[in-house]
Structure 1
Amino acid sequence: MFTGIIQAVGQVQWHSEHQLLITAAMAPFLKEMAIGDSIAVDGVCLTVETFDRSSFRVSVSPETLQRTTLGEKAQQGAAVNLEPALRVGDKLGGHFVTGHVDGVGSLRAIAPTGESWELTVAAPLAVATYIIPKGSIAINGISLTVAACNELGDEFTVAVIPHTYRETTLQFLQIGDAVNLEADLLGKYTHKLLGRSAAPATDSTIDIPFLQTHGYA
């Protein structure tokens, strides 16, 4: 589990056919890293297999490469957002992020608004269902708040404060770039529960004959 509060920016590249090398010499959490730790790399939950003082290695499955931007970024040697897993007692400054990417969107527009920035993102329908104004969304692992969205939710805007823009990979985004998206976990569960409550009612009467038939009486 993560919070979407990025702690460092690193660089990802291929180490072997199925393993990525992430360098992050200034990342504070490297001092306390252990083999088997979970870490979010651009919003994707991965497991640390080896590490040293300035880098760590993780394996990636074909499923991960197919559903996220990591393969393409590793090919480019691109910058990635890094966040270690939430520990009991840590501050929850963002929102609950699992590191399981729901879909890949793309940056439609970016515009300065005073000292901040406004990003417009196109989202696939798998994510759009859960996007609502003032709801939470993780973009490349960054916890952000939806400022506005269209009726379908497949296009939305987020406001980014200077600190977040400066301390994450958002500063490197260009129009058309692909981004990993994870919808709000609470929204996904609520959507599923409401779907079940809308299902036709079934005859679930519990009486003496029912209990006898099922061995309870």
Structure 2
Amino acid sequence: MFTGIVQGVAHVEALTDRPGLRSFRLRFPPGFAQGLEIGASVSCDGVCLTVTSLDGDDAASFDVMQQSLGLTTLGGLVQGSAINVERAAKDGAEIGGHPLSGHIDVTGTLREIRRPENNHVLRIGLSPRWMRYVFAKGYIAINGASLTVAEADRQAGWFEVWLIPETLRQTTFGSKQVGDVLNIEIERSTQVFVDTVRDALDERLGPLLPALEALLRERGLSTDELARPMLPPQRG
């Protein structure tokens, strides 16, 4: 498990391709790998990877399966690429963000960047299949960072997050450009609540459900909005 609090930026030092597998050697910030062991988990741009070898206190290697390369942004990394990293949480660790599994659900595309004073706003496009789980003031993980959704437009298919200078300093977000692809992990409890509500509506309403969905669409809503009152409190 990870906390979603990025601990630094690592750089891809070398890549080696083998059938169905790619190996990465990452160079970490000084001291990041101190005490790290083979078999330990590290979040790499939000993807949970296992340490396969160590190179002092500042570097380690990881193997990535072809499936993970295709489903995440890791397949596009090249030598010199920068990624967000976090070591696995220890028992009793403070959860400054929200619990993350390191299993990416989908990728989103950076549509727009705005830079109001002392802030950095990212608008990210997401498919309807996954936008149903995104609510303003709810949690979401982007490239391994736990962030709070500021705004979400389900019909237009986007959500926004606002980043403070400290977040930009500690992560790779400051270098992202419009069109870049980002790893997204949906907050699990929100997904469970939304799916439960949808299943309950389908079971109880049956053939009436399409009529309800049409009525809600006329008002710019969807059945997913019915889950909002059930969601557990989120940090603002």
Give the TM-score band, short-chain normalised: 0.7 to 0.9
Q: TM-score, normalised by structure 2?
A: 0.79
8 Å Cα contact 1:80-1:169 kept in structure 2: yes
8 Å Cα contact 1:39-1:46 kept in structure 2: yes
* Displacement of 1:94: 0.4
8 Å Cα contact 2:8-2:29 kept in structure 1: no
* Displacement of 1:123: 1.2
8 Å Cα contact 1:46-1:60 kept in structure 2: yes
8 Å Cα contact 1:107-1:120 kept in structure 2: yes
Cα pair distance change 1:153/1:5, threshold 3 Å: farther
Q: Deviations over 1:162-217 (max 9, x none)?
A: 1001110001101111111111111112223323433537xxxxxxxxxxxxxxxx
- State the alpha-carbon separation in 2 of the partners of residues 154 and 94 from structure 1: 24
Q: Deviations over 1:4-60 (max 9, x none)?
A: 10001001241343211111142x331110111111000001111111222111111
| Aligned AA (1:15) | T
Cα-Cα RMSD: 1.6
Q: Match for 2:71 among 52, 67, 70? A: 67
Equivalent residue number for residue 89 of structure 1: 92
Deviates more, 1:118-127 or 1:129-138: 118-127
Cα pair distance change 1:161/1:36, threshold 3 Å: same
Equivalent residue number for residue 206 of structure 1: none
| Aligned AA (2:7) | Q
8 Å Cα contact 1:122-1:155 kept in structure 2: yes
Deviates more, 1:7-16 or 1:42-51: 7-16
Structure 2 residue runs of 5 or longer lacking an equivalent are 205-236
Structure 1 residue runs of 5 or longer lacking an equivalent are 202-217
Q: Deviations over 1:58-102 (max 9, x none)?
A: 1111110111000112x2531000001111111100011111111
State, as a whole percentage, how many aligned pairs show the same letter: 35
Cα pair distance change 1:153/1:37, threshold 3 Å: farther
8 Å Cα contact 2:132-2:154 kept in structure 1: no
Aligned residues: 199
Cα pair distance change 1:117/1:183, threshold 3 Å: same
Equivalent residue number for residue 135 of structure 2: 132
- State the alpha-carbon separation in 2 of the partners of residues 156 and 130 from structure 1: 11
